[in-house]
Amino acid sequence: MREARRCFATEGYDATPNRRIAESVGITTAAIYHYFASKADLYVATYAEVQETVFTTLERATSRHERFADRFSALLDALAEIDAEDPYLAGFVIGVASDLRRHPELTDAIREHRVRGRDYLLSLCRDAIVRGEVSPAVNESAMYDMLVVMLSGLTRFSYSVHDRERLLAVTEGLKQVVAGTILQPALR
């Protein structure tokens, strides 16, 4: 699965034949087909594993905190650690949007696995709204979309830059943005 994720991340769905994945791990293509009926099934299993890895880690990291700013901070720290352990995970996530545009049949196949991420982020938003941490001018949908934009951008940045120090600096900056401390007091 790790090698499939790496291949899909670096080459995309179209350019990744099962033969290449099999060769890179020292097995036959038939061995892959023993577990996965098609490349699409392997892709869906890879997507499901990524979702499980990411959101189990994020849920664990944020569960110890109540305030949104603290949860967001823990979430960013967890993402940075995930990236340090496997930078191809971010590459896979980035490639999913393009792969789905070219292969709409994959959209239906991964639909059930997308729910967890959406529900997780929505719960962070709802909790913050219920606790009164969010301006009344920002509704749940807008807050969710802002989180998606920030996290998508961070994921793209981390994969394209390949510089841990820069990633951590950006992560710290995003924490300050959410905490409302990035600007000097006179400029707020």
Please tell me the distance from the alpha carbon of residue 96 to that of residue 155, in angstroms, as a whole number: 12
Give the per-residue pLDDT at 183.
87
Q: What is the pLDDT of residue 114?
A: 92
CA distance 66 to 11: 40
pLDDT of residue 185: 78
Residues 18-55, buried b or exposed e (16+ Cβ, 10 A)? beebbeeeeeeeeebeeebeebeebbbebbbbbbebbb
Residue 154 Cα to chain centre, angstroms: 9
Write out the chain's pLDDT in tens, 188 residues.
999 999 999 999 999 999 999 999 999 999 999 999 999 999 999 999 999 999 999 999 999 999 999 999 999 999 999 999 998 999 999 999 999 999 999 999 999 999 999 999 999 999 999 999 999 999 999 999 999 999 999 999 999 999 999 999 999 999 999 999 998 877 65
Q: How far apart are CA 132 and CA 28, in angstroms?
A: 56
Which residues, including other chains, have CB under 8 Å from residue 97's CB and lie 6 or more apart?
Answer: none
Residue 67: helix, strand or coil by DSSP? coil
Q: What DSSP designation does 17 have?
A: -
pLDDT of res. 120: 97
Residues found in the chain: 188
**Structural tokens at position 160:** 């394209």
Q: Residue 52: what pLDDT? A: 95
Nearest to 121 by CA among 142, 94, 95: 142
Domain 40-180, second-level architecture: Orthogonal Bundle (1.10)
Predicted model pTM: 0.90
Query: What are the E-state strand segments in the chain?
Result: none
Q: Exposure of 185 by Cβ count < 10 A (0-12 exposed, 13-18 middle, 19+ buried)?
A: exposed
